[in-house]
Structure 1
Amino acid sequence: MTRDFLKVQGKDVPGNMQAYLQYYNLNCSGVEHSHEFFRSRSNEEIFIQSFTPAAPRGVCYVLHGYFDHSGSMSQLIRHLTSLQFQVVAYDLQGHGLSTGDRGAIRTFDDYVDLFKEIMERYRKKADQYSVAIAHSTGGAILMDYLLRYGGMIETAVLVSPLVRSHNWHMSRAGLILMKRRVTMLPRVYKRNSSNLHYLKQVKEDPLQNGRIPVGWFQALVNWQNVLENYPDSDKKILVIQGDKDKTVDWKYNLAFIKRKFPNCEMRIVRGGNHQLLNEREDFLKQTFNCLDSFIIQGNGD
């Protein structure tokens, strides 16, 4: 299967949305699906899709992590629609079917600006119950948005959120040594889930990226320094974290988030890895149980 099975870089391949939905297991029974490519203010074509069950109880915005795309979040999307939530998911710039240099970003502000633009575009009703669920780098984006803007999201969930990456100090030292000499690194496919079928799928996924621009990590370092200076938020959020995660520095990250969001709730999935939304069945069930009680309680049910 090649990457051109759907509209890519402005070229339309008729009739292949069904192939995309089937490939990523996004055919949800009784759910209306729509998609579009819209040109963002930064002049990228952003792939965005929505999944709408009959009589939705609210809307949930889904943000994926680095390297991934909205198709990688299929288990979460299917679960949310089974709970009668409308789901809005999009591919970050430089990811999936959106345009942009693969995996690259000038500044994390560009990620946050795009999310804000999508919120303004898709939030049609002022009284609509709005949830955001974000994984990893998506969690970094959502945290920044909440600390700066906050108001349009009532309930927020961070899954394995990124603040610092694993081996942070060693990575920063490596960045200094590589600067101006290396611009791109090969991706190492980590065993970040105990779901072996998922790990195999990632390596075969035509929308995954196999290289890491060094500038992305520099943007992460710069972003963390900015995040530290934002005022704290009294918003009640949920953080779900696996204690076997070796993608992010999760102990530091949880302490940092607790300082910035003192009213947050935290749930540890014992034995869970970084990809909690693509873990084996028992860990996935624990993750969804934490998620369900929080977002449904937030809706007043």
Structure 2
Amino acid sequence: MKGMSTDEYRVQWTIEAPKAAVVLIHGQAEHCGRYEHVADALNDAGYNVFAGDLPGHGRSGGLRGHIDRFGDYVDRVESWVADARALHPNAPMFLLGHSVGGLIAARFLQTSPLAREVAGAALTSPAFRLRFPIPAWKEALGRRLDGILPKLRMPSGLDKQRVTRNEETLLATASDPLMVYVASVRFYNELLRAQRAALDEAGLIAQPMLVLHGGADEVIDPAVTLEFGAKLASRDKDVRLLPGLHHEVMNEPERDEVIRGIVAWLDRRSEAAGPADSASSIM
């Protein structure tokens, strides 16, 4: 593991003789340390994992819960992709993004010149539209203050959402000092703009795609994920809802089965992908 400067935190989970690399992108309010169990499973399956904390999150620098532009997230992921490519110049590379991390992965594939380095992507509960209600006064205030007080932060409401049925995870999350439960005016508006762009430009994505969404998600609207999937240009795409699962499908009581399914999907695509080319029961 390597922690970078005070401005940035990155981590690598590596093994000897990996068959491919995975760049893992965490979601809003959290940090990459919550995915150690996912990285361990990927290591066991033969994958090196590259990740980090997004700006304003975890151990990275920046105002908590704030971003000047959504592209700053994409830029950070580009640096992780570059790390992975430098260590694996000829191996297939994949993205694995959860929630806002899934939205970031989509925008990366739609806008980044490094998208050609990616052989496929797996998204879990990607944040294409919020499902929990934002008070009308807060929404109106956020739009009005975007150009005046962009760094003004308010409670995000995420701490009140039931993201998983796994009580052990809920307890650990509640006591995690690295979690962030505020969001700035600019972040909220940039999120909305990125969501619209991701849906409008879904047809720009042609890589193999696995998109999984908890059917009982109370945070992000599963129906919009299906809409995104229908617009993808990918010939190889598997877009589905997982009945009864909540937002954090890789933390649900069924998480081992979900992760095995993701690994199986990666295995099939890593075997099919050339160098740097662009199912379990629950799957």
Q: Please confirm whether the aligned pair reaches a TM-score higher than 0.5, indicating the same fold.
A: yes
The match for 1:232 among 190, 199, 204 is 204
* CA drift at 1:107: 1.6
* Cα distance in structure 2, aligned partners of 1:172 and 1:123: 45
In structure 1, the partner of 2:238 is 265
The reply to whether residue 157 of structure 1 matches residue 157 of structure 2 is no
The 1:145–1:196 alpha-carbon spacing in structure 2 relative to 1, beyond 3 Å, is same
Paired letter, 1:159: T
Q: How does 1:53-72 map to 2 (within 5 A)?
A: 53-72=15-34
User: Does the CA-based 8 Å contact 1:193-1:276 persist in structure 2?
Assistant: yes
TM-aligned CA distance change 1:291 to 1:171, over 3 Å: farther
59-68 or 171-180: which moved more?
171-180
Equivalent residues of 2:210, 2:239 under 8 A apart: yes
Report the Cα offset of residue 54 of structure 1: 2.1
What is the match of residue 4 of structure 2? 37
CA distance in structure 2 between the aligned counterparts of 1:258 and 1:113, rounded to whole angstroms: 27
Render the CA deviation track for 1:197-219: whole Å, top value 9, x for unaligned.
11111110011123222321111
Equivalent position amino acid for 2:98 in 1: H
Supply the distance in 2 between the matched residues of 1:171 and 1:151 (Cα, whole angstroms): 40
1:243 corresponds, among 215, 219, 232, to 215
Aligned match of 1:145: 108
| Alpha-carbon distance in structure 2 between the residues aligned to 1:273 and 1:167 | 13
**Aligned partners of 2:10 and 2:55: how far apart in 1?**
11
CA contact (8 A) 1:175 1:218 kept: no
> Would you say how many aligned residue pairs link Structure 1 and Structure 2?
260
Does structure 2 conserve the Cα–Cα contact (< 8 Å) formed by 1:50 and 1:86?
yes
User: Of 51, 70, 80, which residue of structure 1 is paired with 2:13?
Assistant: 51
- Structure 1 pair 64–172 and aligned structure 2 pair: CA distance change class (3 A): farther
Deviation of 1:164 after TM superposition, in Å, equals 1.1
Answering whether residue 263 of structure 2 is matched by residue 292 of structure 1, we say yes
Identify if the C-alpha distance between structure 1 residues 227 and 267 changes in structure 2 by more than 3 Å, giving closer, same or farther. closer
Higher relative contact order (CA 8 A, sep 6+): 2
Structure 2 SS opposite 1:61: strand
Take 2:12 and 2:63, find their aligned partners in 1: how far apart are those partners?
A: 24
Q: Is the 8 A contact 1:269 1:287 kept in 2?
A: no
Aligned pairs for 1:118-197 (under 5 A) are: 118-124=80-86, 125-149=88-112, 150-167=115-132, 174-178=138-142, 179-180=144-145, 183-188=152-157, 189=159, 190-197=161-168
Alignment correspondent of 1:7? none
Q: TM-score, normalised by structure 2?
A: 0.84
Contact kept in structure 2, 1:75 and 1:278, CA below 8 Å: no
Cα-to-partner distance string for 1:103-144 (whole Å, 9 max, x where unaligned):
111121111111112222331233112121110011011101
Superposition CA RMSD, Å: 2.2
- Report sequence identity in percent: 23
How far off its partner does 1:174 sit? Answer: 3.9
Instruction: Measure, in 2, the Cα distance between the counterparts of 1:173 and 1:140.
Output: 26
**Structure-1 separation of matches of 2:90 and 2:214:** 34
Deviation at 1:228, TM superposition (A): 4.3
| Between 247-256 and 85-94, the greater mean CA deviation after superposition | 247-256
Q: Which of these residues, 68, 76, 79, is aligned with residue 106 of structure 1?
A: 68
Distance 1:273 1:52 in 2: 30
Q: Report what 1:221 is aligned to.
A: 192
Taking structure 1 as the reference length, what is the TM-score of the superposition?
0.80
Q: Which runs of 4+ in 1 moved over 4 A?
A: 170-173
Give the Å deviation of 1:172: 7.0
Structure 1: stretches of 5+ with no match in the other structure: 1-33, 39-43
Encode CA deviations 1:245-285: one digit per residue, 9 max, x unaligned.
011111112212321345321232221100111111xx213
Paired residue type of 2:139: L
CA distance in 2, matches of 1:80, 1:237: 18
For residues 141 and 208 of structure 1, what CA distance do their matches in structure 2 show? Answer: 19
Aligned twin of 1:12: none
